A and B are shown apart, each in its own frame.
Chain A
Amino acid sequence: MSIATAEFGTSGPEAGARSEDYLWTLNFGPQHPATHTTLRIVLKLDGERVVDAMPEMGYLHSGFEKLGEHLTFNQYVTVTDRMNYISPMANNVAWHHAVEALLGIELTPRCASIRTIIAELARISDHLLSNGAVGLDTGAFTFFLYAFYQREVIYDIFETLCGARFTNSYTRVGGVSQDFTPLVIEKIRGFLKTFPKTLDDMERLLTRNRIFVDRTKGVGVLTKEEAINRGATGPVARASGVTRDLRKDEPYLAYGDFDFQICCASAGDCYARYLIRMQEMRESLKIVAQAIENLPAGPVNVGIDQRTALPTKQQVYTTIEGTISHFELSMSNRGFEVPHEESYAAIEAPNGELGFYIVGDGGETAYRARCRPPSLLHFALFPHLIRGHTLSDVVAVLGSLNIIAAELDR
């Protein structure tokens, strides 16, 4: 629905100078239903056409990075939950992935598979919410309810797994807090069976819905060069034809073992981003299905000789190594051997490349824990995408970028 300036004859220097006088300034946010969280955009309007947009952020800046300098590597995982709160599991995985890269810990095969499964479930729940929100903002409320109902199913799986609906704090350095139980596996299998049908329903509801397609197709176009130059990653970049996906390009965890595809589109508009997310959910399902059927046996945490993950109670009570390692890990002046080093490691989070730059200074806490938030770079794209479109497209573009304020501001 882009209205080109030329169509109305308002382009050209003389017309531009005249229309300057009629520019409207509209404040959008920070408390607005369609921003979902706390974004603020000051829009310059010429009639209904957006001439310029000035995003403003920081309405949820709560000092995550400063907090990372005061909490130990295992404690900070609780804070990463609150960072991207629509897919916290992926944040947990990202944080401990980076910590393990710094400490040089290699996971057990079972743990790698488990983390892969939960990261993919997190991706599904993220895409459900972000697509549901695009639907909601463009007027498809039923679609949102479908999406949210499936999120409840995933919440239920996570709750069975670790007791919390979505602030899971599930990973630990060198392992996870709980192993998969048969009940969890059964629930995931059940989800794998029922979800494709709902996904079909959702696609039938919206993908070829005339109103939705009209409102999103050709809106907010991002070209491939711009996507790279402006640092877009994840579904936003892939909808513009950038093929980068860390799951394939730098296979971490167990992604190297599974058969799945990277979804790309070339249109780069809101509709393409919606389609990519829909398709990625199907690919994630494939990964989860393969991983759950081939879940390696064996221990889930790294061995007690490495002194990183807490040993099981059985080990503590029956072996001397277990006792020692439990003692050392619980003492505040012992614990991990952290090198005087800095490292960066990232995973392909649902929203894009989510990485942590961690500086270790020998102590139990990070000297500096920097999070590389995909949302920040995506929100910076916004003025570029919205220029020349109408006011009603603002919500479509915002929704398709899937900006999570807590991750944006940290």
Chain B
Amino acid sequence: MPYTLPSVTDVLAGLTNRFGSLETSLNRGQTRVVVPEPLSFDVLAWLKNQGFDLLIDVTCVDYLEYKAAKHRYGLVYLLASTATNQRLTVRVFVDDPDPTVKSVVSLWEAANWLEREVWDLFGIRFTSHPDLRRLVMPDEFTAHPLRKDYPLQGRGERHNFPVITRDHS
């Protein structure tokens, strides 16, 4: 018997009360809420007050090649509550050019590096992030490698180093 997550219907009702109706969906026990980009910070702040004190993950999906996708990038915020074990997924969709969303570092310190990673790999800008630098790629790198239009083998950056032979060393 697989375990089912505690329901979040009351939270959803509260969300609707506070922010008007938002698009929600349920897949195998996981509840997702789609939040328009201008509201994202307020909704997340409100959810944090409702007991979702643990930010599990911030990540992103590039829907460039996805069938019937309406937007280019979909941010994913995975929230959980340490007290009630509820989980909630918040989706925020943004588009080219200059995809931007408000940073949630002021709510959860955990978001700091997660957002830097999303900026590095997807090029989504987080406004009012304290330190938005590349996290995993070298600073001089120009592309955002997890975008779907970036090839798996890269564009030759990995060959671009000086060669040291026995003579040099």
Judge: A and B partners, yes or no: yes
Asked whether, in the complex, the Cβ of A231 is within 8 Å of the Cβ of B3, the reply is no
B33 in contact (CB, < 8 A):
no
In the complex, chain B residues 23-75 whose Cβ is within 8 Å of any chain A Cβ: 27-28, 30, 32, 53-57, 59, 61-62, 65-67
Which residues from B are CB-within-8-Å of A359? 61, 66
User: C-beta contact mask, B61-98 vs A, less than 8 Å → 1, else 0?
Assistant: 11001110000000010100010010001000000000
User: C-beta contact mask, B97-118 vs A, less than 8 Å → 1, else 0?
Assistant: 0000000000011101110010
SS class, residues of chain A in contact with chain B: mixed
B123 in contact (CB, < 8 A):
no
Instruction: State A320–B113 Cα separation when bound (angstroms).
Output: 53
B11 in contact (CB, < 8 A):
no
Instruction: State A376–B113 Cα separation when bound (angstroms).
Output: 8
With A242-B82, A341-B27, A344-B89 in contact, is A229–B108 under 8 Å at CB? Answer: yes
Instruction: State A252–B28 Cα separation when bound (angstroms).
Output: 14
Chain B nearest Cβ from A199, distance in angstroms: 30
Chain B nearest Cβ from A178, distance in angstroms: 25
Cβ-closest chain B residue relative to A101: B28
With A61-B136, A61-B137 in contact, is A361–B57 under 8 Å at CB? Answer: no
B138 in contact (CB, < 8 A):
yes
B152 in contact (CB, < 8 A):
yes
Chain A CB within 10 Å — which of B28, B114, B138 has the most? Answer: B28
Partner of B56, one of A341, A342, A355: A355
Cβ-closest chain B residue relative to A372: B57
B15 in contact (CB, < 8 A):
no
In the complex, chain A residues 347-380 whose Cβ is within 8 Å of any chain B Cβ: 353, 355, 357, 359, 361-362, 367-368, 370, 372, 376-377, 379-380
A57 in contact (CB, < 8 A):
yes
Cβ-closest chain B residue relative to A70: B152
A249 in contact (CB, < 8 A):
yes
Which residues from A are CB-within-8-Å of B78? 344, 355, 357, 372
Asked whether, in the complex, the Cβ of A380 is within 8 Å of the Cβ of B110, the reply is yes
Chain B interface size, under 10 / 10 to 19 / 20 to 34 / 35 or more: 35 or more
Asked whether, in the complex, the Cβ of B110 is within 8 Å of the Cβ of A252, the reply is no
Which residues from A are CB-within-8-Å of B61? 342, 359, 367-368, 370
A58 in contact (CB, < 8 A):
yes
Asked whether, in the complex, the Cβ of B113 is within 8 Å of the Cβ of A357, the reply is no
Asked whether, in the complex, the Cβ of A370 is within 8 Å of the Cβ of B57, the reply is yes
With A231-B54, A368-B61 in contact, is A63–B110 under 8 Å at CB? Answer: no
Which residues from A are CB-within-8-Å of B114? 231, 376-377
In the complex, chain B residues 132-149 whose Cβ is within 8 Å of any chain A Cβ: 134-138, 145-146
Instruction: State A242–B81 Cα separation when bound (angstroms).
Output: 12
User: C-beta contact mask, A166-183 vs B, less than 8 Å → 1, else 0?
Assistant: 000000000000000000
Which residues from A are CB-within-8-Å of B32? 342
Chain B nearest Cβ from A79, distance in angstroms: 13
Instruction: State A230–B109 Cα separation when bound (angstroms).
Output: 5
B2 in contact (CB, < 8 A):
yes
A106 in contact (CB, < 8 A):
yes
Chain A nearest Cβ from B115, distance in angstroms: 11
User: C-beta contact mask, A60-76 vs B, less than 8 Å → 1, else 0?
Assistant: 01010111011000000
Which residues from B are CB-within-8-Å of A292? none
A120 in contact (CB, < 8 A):
no
Partner of B66, one of A228, A230, A367, A376: A367
Asked whether, in the complex, the Cβ of A250 is within 8 Å of the Cβ of B85, the reply is yes
Which residues from A are CB-within-8-Å of B8? none
A16 in contact (CB, < 8 A):
no
Instruction: State A250–B54 Cα separation when bound (angstroms).
Output: 15
Which residues from B are CB-within-8-Å of A367? 61, 65-66
Closest 5 CB pairs of A and B: A231-B110, A58-B136, A61-B136, A372-B57, A380-B113
29 example contacts (A-B, Cβ-Cβ < 8 A) are as follows: A57-B136, A63-B145, A66-B152, A67-B152, A70-B152, A104-B28, A228-B54, A228-B82, A229-B53, A230-B108, A230-B109, A231-B56, A231-B109, A244-B54, A244-B82, A250-B85, A252-B2, A342-B32, A344-B57, A355-B57, A357-B78, A367-B66, A368-B61, A368-B62, A370-B59, A372-B56, A372-B78, A377-B113, A410-B136
